[in-house]
Amino acid sequence: MKKTSKNSVPMYGIVPASKIIGETVVNRQDENVGKIDELVVDAKRNRIAYAVLSFGGFMGMGNKLFAMPWEALEFSPTKNKLILNVDKESLKSAPGFEKGDKWPDFSDPAWGETIYKYYNYTPPWSA
């Protein structure tokens, strides 16, 4: 059995979505780049399609949201955090949307292509 940190779930394996939503996300430089705001499920392919990252703002106001491929995130082997291989400057210019606005159509393949391409991943429907 894998070790767990105090007040956390196992670092590997099956993890409830409720433990991922709200989880801190850091980049490779260990800079805080936000928190997971939502998980978007692709019911046709039985997988998580996107993690929605909340970045910026103050006390929940002015947060920009970014949908990113689930594959772009990895669990830290030593801390209760997710790691995203994107620096803060790249994230600031990433395609995003405001929390209070209408969310993008996650099922639109053209929109998905731009997201996957920005983060340098191949969309699962193209593989």
> CA 110 to CA 20: how far, in whole Å?
27
Closest CA to 74 of 91, 90, 86: 86
Give the pTM: 0.81
The domain locations on the chain are 17-118
CATH (residue range 17-118): 2.30.30.240
pLDDT at 5: 45
pLDDT greater than 60 at residue 2 = no
Could you read off the pLDDT of 38-57 as tens digits, one per residue?
Answer: 999 988 888 899 999 998 75
SS3 40: strand
Could you read off the pLDDT of 75-111 as tens digits, one per residue?
Answer: 888 887 899 988 888 888 899 998 778 889 988 999 9
How far does Cα 19 stand from its chain's mean position? 13
The one-letter amino acid at 14: I
